[in-house]
Structures are given as C-alpha cells and as structure tokens.
Amino acid sequence: MMGEHTVKAFDEDLNFLISKISEMGGNAESMVARSVTALVTADKELGKSVVKDDKILDALEQEVDDHVVLLIARRQPMATDLREVIGALRMATDLERIGDLGKNVARRAFQIEDNLPPKKLLRGLQHLTNVSLEQLKDALDAFVAKDIEKAREVWDRDDEIDSLYTSLFRELLTYMMEDPRNITYCTHLLFCAKNMERIGDHVTNLAETIHYMVTGSNDIASENLNDL
C-alpha cells in the first residue's frame, strides 16, 4: 500500500476522487437495476425516478471532471497518482454512460403501456441484466480493493454477456415470427438487451482502467496469457 503524501491535502484530493467514483458506481448500479424492474413491471413511477437520477449522475461526473482538472493544475501528479487521476476520469465517463443506458431502458417503461409482455419473454432479459449488474458490482469492488485479479476475471467474463445477448436476440426473433403482436414489445426488449450488452462493454472498460491504475499497463489481455 502507498504511504501518505507529505502534502496532506493531496491525499484528501485523491480520496475525494475515489469516493466520488464509488458514489457514481453505486448510483449507476441502482439506476440499471431499477430501470429493468420498471420495465418488466410497467412501473412508470419507478421509471421516472431513474430518469430523474440520471441528472445526479451527470452532476457527479461533472464534479469528477472539475476536480481532476484542478488537481492536475495544482499538484502535477506523477506515477501512481497520475494513473489514478487519469483512471478516475475514464471511469467517470464509463459510469455516466452506464447511467444513460439505464435511463434509456427506464423510458421504455412508459411506452410498453399496460399490455405487459408474457413472463417467459422477460426471463432472458432479466438474466442478462443480472449478469451485467453482477459484473458492474465486481468491477466496483475491484476498484475499491485495487484487486487486479478480480478486474481480470470481470474482463474475461464479458464473453458470457455477449453470448447471452446473442441467444436472447434469437429467442426474441423467434417470438416475433410466431406472433406479429409480439413485435412491439419484443423490439423494446431487444433494445433493452442491447443496452445491457453495452453496459457489459463499459464494465470491460472499467476493468481495463482499474488494471491500468494499479499496474501501469493498458494490456490486461496479454498479461493473462503471460500468466498461463
């Protein structure tokens, strides 16, 4: 573990960034979880709360941005500090995008109206969502613990999300072909599935960034091979 800076305010600056990123992570996680619940239960109020929360996440990202710019101007960070600051900036961008994707899913809760899709159509989406959320949670844990092993595992598991998405895509397509009345909400569900898959990609970025912050190497993949 790193010791303390001679200039104590520098430690406070870095800790502030870490706490803001954790806060963003928590918010993004909750938004995504609630957005899918809102969708599958057609809960418009819940959907609205997610859309509203996106503003909070945007403001947090802005706060991280401003803080990073000031910190660089004031302290000219080097080595691990520099990587942590740049990493925080990158993570804030990915987390904000994850929030946007959640908001997009929440909005669809208004459009599905009262004709809820049959349960069996929702099962696949819920599973995909759970896996994506699990990944996000693990990535945030890896960030707090600076655990590159965990970050690597997250990075490796993205393939799972991709294949879940592909099979869900086929499933939804089959339902649409079976009965054209399914097309409207199957299309909504397809977009939602795509969003969950995109969230998985952002989580992959998070894992790469965490790896970079801790090791200084951008190449999370090749180190995997070296370990074999």
Partner 1 sequence: MEQTEIKMSGKDVSVSYGEKQALFDVNLDIPAKQVTALIGPSGCGKSTFLRCLNRMNDTIDICKVSGDIRLDNQDIYHRDIDVVELRARVGMVFQKPNPFPKSIFENVGYGPKIHGLANGKAELEEIVVKSLQRAGLFEEVKDRLYEPGTGLSGGQQQRLCIARAIAVSPEVILMDEPCSALDPIATAKVEELIDELRENYTIVIVTHSMQQAARVSQQTAMFHLGYLVEVDDTDTMFTNPSDKKTQDYITGRYG
Q: Name the site residues for partner 1 (rule: CB under 8 A).
A: 2-7, 10, 75-83, 215-217
Residues contacting residue 131 through CB under 8 Å, at least 6 positions apart: 160, 161, 164, 200
Q: How far is the CB of 41 from partner 1 (least distance, A)?
A: 48
Q: How many residues are given for the chain?
A: 228
Which of left, alpha, beta for 20 (phi over 0: left; psi -120 to 50: alpha)?
alpha
Nearest approach in angstroms of CB 196 to partner 1 is 34
Nearer to partner 1, 70 or 173 (CB): 70
- The least distance separating partner 1 from the CB of residue 136, rounded to whole angstroms, comes to 27
Cα 91 to Cα 77: distance, rounded to the nearest angstrom: 18
Q: At closest approach, how far in Å is the CB of 10 from partner 1?
A: 6
Contact yes or no for 57/183 (Cβ under 8 A): no
> Do residues 142 and 151 touch, judged by C-beta distance below 8 A?
yes
